[in-house]
Chains A and B, each alone.
Chain A
Amino acid sequence: MLYTSLLPTILLLAVAAYFLGQRRAERVASAAGGLRQLHSLPSHYGVFVALCCALPGLAVFLVWMACEEQVITAMVAAGLPEALRNLPANELSLVINEIKNVAFGGFTASGGNPAVEAAAGSYLSHLHGVRNLVVAIALLTCLLPGWWALGRIDKDLRARNLVEGMARVVLFGCATVAVLTTIGIVLSIVFEALRFFQSVSPSDFLFGLQWSPQIAMRADQVGSSGAFGAVPVFVGTFLIASIAMAVAIPVGLLSAIYLSEYAASTLRSWAKPALEILAGIPTVVYGFFAALTVAPAIRDLGAMLGLSVASESALAAGLIMGVMIIPFVSSLSDDVIHAVPQSLRDGSLAMGATRFETIRHVVVPAALPGIVGSILLAISRAVGETMIVVMAAGLSANLSVNPLAAVTTVTVQIVTLLVGDQEFDSPKTLAAFALGLLLFFFTLILNFIALRVVRRYREHYE
């Protein structure tokens, strides 16, 4: 009860501290002869006291939130009878789960093991005891610094500088969240991928030609060899991405050129946002459309022409992915084409070139680095795109470059390996992280190059 209302209590205390600080500053001011005698505004003193009150308490609360699970579990595990405590780690975690189920009134599978019942009781009492302790500590860490800050208020306290300094630290902290996210991504993926490479050698993974990530439960099981050669997966990914780019590059580039060089401003003003709609449609919608409409249509068309087309052909997924990527190519290319100085065009047209000749020999060569950058960004989108391929591409890893065959992609494999029951000690689950690692670094490199190229290009003309 106390614990659940801790957060609102801290916030309430902070509000009270603000008003107390402000009042006190006003009183100090009137004693010293008017507000002008104060170093800062009364509200600054209020905020100063409020921050001194709230921040330490919140810190205690957050730290506890993060580690409550581990602490309580360790305490309960220490109190278990000898026989249970010496179980292997995964069985022990089952027992702990059981204890929690009993403690929170959930159903029980073992049907009243007395040791578990006792442990559940001790779990609850530990939880209540420690939580009360945490509440006490948190409130103390609110009240003491708050009281201290209140006492420090006098006309020479540089409250504004202190408050602004704290605010700057908070702003800086928020800015580093992005860096922390990247570090989090790298660490979490690398860590799991390393565990994968302990059981499968990296060279087998990178150059193996067989991908069937099922591990045999019994020695004589059929088709569960557990091969982790990722080449077929990469080939499938690049096949679908190439088909997508074969659609997106011409259509996107031509649209961008038309919009920036030929189109009247009225057409441009509504055609540009209309193209952006394509980027706003959720990919799951594209996936549904590809799987339910485009794939059967292609199969029927193939049957009419006497071709055998897989029902989950790379062509269907690639075509729709290409449509999805058109706006990524067109809007970035449009920006860079727009940035080509008008004087270059004027010069070319004045020499008697037609608009097409100007575009071909002047505008496009001048904009080329930017266009290449936008294409690189689009490729990284295509490679990382998930839902379209999950819904419209196949699961089995065929080593094939035939666009009519079913192939699989990196993202499809990650999804199939991680959706459903997972065991975090089998190479099957960890393989997803190894694939994720490759995907992350591949797209990172593409993005990095693309962003650099585009940036350098912009600086060139600015």
Chain B
Amino acid sequence: MNDNGTNTAMNASPNLLAPASDLKRRYRTDKWFQRIGLGAIALSLAFIALLFFHIVREGHSAFVRANIMLDIDFAEKHFVKENLAAADYTALVKQALTEAFPEVVDRRDKRQLFSLLSSGAAYQLRDMVLANPRLIGTRQQVWLPADDDVDMLQKGKIDRNLPEENRRINDRQLSWLDTLASQGRLETQFNTAFFTGGDSREPELAGVLGAVKGTMLTLAITLMLSFPVGVAAAIYLEEFAPQNRWTDLIEVNINNLAAVPSIIFGLLGLAVFINFFGLPRSTPIVGGLVLALLTLPTIIIAGRAALKSVPPSIREAALGIGASKMQTVVHHVLPLALPGMLTGTIIGMAHALGETAPLLMIGMVAFIADVPGSIGDPAAVLPVQIYLWADSPERGFTEKTSAAIIILLAFLMTMNSLAIYLRKRFEIKW
């Protein structure tokens, strides 16, 4: 079959020494094909660049937040000594705003004025007072979170020049904000709440700590289960398994399992862990179990490759001086294969970190504002948090989604770099 191309060329020029008449055309085709191939690679790389550029452009602004500075009067009349948490902190905020804009008297206008601040402002004051009760009776300048619409306006994501009825912030609110800005009371500052808070319905208060911690707990369970089991399975299949049908079945099975859609593992988790064993929904323990089953094939395949790369001479030497088969494997083969196994495990963990679909199946889509404390608490994980925020209608959540993606990608890059470093550092060329 490889004669076809050359035959036509030869028929065209019977004299082998003279250049064929269509040689130029043939080389041109070759050049073009080469360019198309390069173009295909360039296309993929361009897409990666576009994706990263887009995410960073959208997400970088979530790391800052518009805050408003107010003079809060922690007058003693507001507080009851026995129960500081019960005081009406919203009233403190409202009072401070009224003092800042004494000309606003109408009730409707007042409501618009108050809506410039986030509902989280009152909680922030409460936390301040609970942490330091000596604030009571003093007057403090406090930076409080602005509402997400103000935040969007500050970041230029709401156009000031739109007609008023198409804008989420009306002209009066704009003038108040300009006043605040001219007094230096409206600033965009580093958004610590994004790193220290759990999820929230308010974009300006939402943070990723809950999701990051949920992810850590989930991945810890996954690692604890899938690494030992995966390594043990790889050792068995590579070093001990007799060549028989059962071993073949296990092998075919593992390869197939690695390509089963991840959502199927979610169905398994739902039917077995939640419905049959009655484990609590939406918790890191169930998530970790499901992801462990999901990553197991990857780890086993990587582990076997690592074991295979250890030369047989090592085994023969150990066996030759009287070590048992098990001693040979545990004392000599396994230590040499371990870096490769670790690399495979980290890559498997990185896959588990980005996995969303199976976790949706086991109920990890619930809205959870608390930061989880243990593996039995309901928790969110980063990719699911991204999914939830991407679905939220508020404009403010778009940048939060992108920022959470940046954090997720940062985790992934760290893990993959670690895997590459391990491979480079410990790889032995036999």
Contact = CB atoms under 8 A, between A and B. Distances in A.
A66 B33 CA distance: 61
B324 A164 contact: yes
Interface string A326-355: 110000000000000000100110011111
A142 B408 CA distance: 45
Interface residues of B, number: 93
B398 interface: yes
A384 B263 contact: yes
Interface string B186-220: 00000000000000000000000000000000000
B2 A250 contact: no
Given A179-B253, A258-B41, A386-B357, A188 B277 contact: no
Interface in B251-280: 252-257, 259-265, 267-268, 270-272, 275-278
A126 B72 CA distance: 55
Contacts of B1: 361-362, 365
B12 to A, nearest CB: 11
Most buried by B among A288, A327, A358: A288
A203 to B, nearest CB: 23
Contact of B240 (A168, A293, A352, A358): A168
Contacts of A390: 357, 360, 387
Contacts of B6: 348, 351-353, 357
Contacts of A220: none
Interface string B393-405: 0000010011001
Given A160-B324, A178-B300, A357-B26, A377 B387 contact: no
B360 to A, nearest CB: 6
A210 interface: no
B101 interface: no
Given A175-B236, A281-B409, A443 B297 contact: no
Interface stretch (A8-16, A106-114, A396-404, A444-452): A444-452
Contacts of A49: none
A197 to B, nearest CB: 16
A288 B229 contact: no
Interface in B359-418: 360-361, 363, 365, 383-384, 386-387, 390-391, 398, 401-402, 405, 408-409, 412, 416
A182 B256 contact: yes
Overall SS of chain A's interface = helix
Given A344-B2, A348-B2, A415 B357 contact: yes
Nearest to B39: A254
A271 B256 contact: no
B75 interface: no
B4 to A, nearest CB: 6
Contacts of B384: 284
A275 B235 CA distance: 31
B9 to A, nearest CB: 6
A380 B264 CA distance: 13
Contacts of A189: 264, 267-268, 271
Given A69-B278, A282-B408, A415-B357, A356 B29 contact: yes
- Give the 8 A-B residue pairs with the shortest CB-CB distance, closest first: A384-B261, A258-B37, A282-B354, A188-B271, A174-B232, A386-B357, A254-B40, A357-B5
Interface of B: 1-6, 9-10, 26-27, 29-30, 33-34, 36-41, 43-45, 47-48, 51, 54-55, 228-230, 232-233, 235-237, 240-241, 249-250, 252-257, 259-265, 267-268, 270-272, 275-278, 293, 296-297, 300, 324-326, 350, 353-357, 360-361, 363, 365, 383-384, 386-387, 390-391, 398, 401-402, 405, 408-409, 412, 416
Interface of A: 66, 69, 160, 164, 167-168, 170-172, 174-179, 181-182, 184-185, 188-189, 191-192, 250-252, 254-255, 257-259, 262, 271, 274-275, 277-278, 280-285, 287-289, 291-293, 323, 326-327, 344, 347-348, 351-362, 365, 377, 380-381, 383-387, 390-391, 411, 414-415, 418-419, 424, 432-433, 436, 439-440, 443-444, 447-448, 450-451
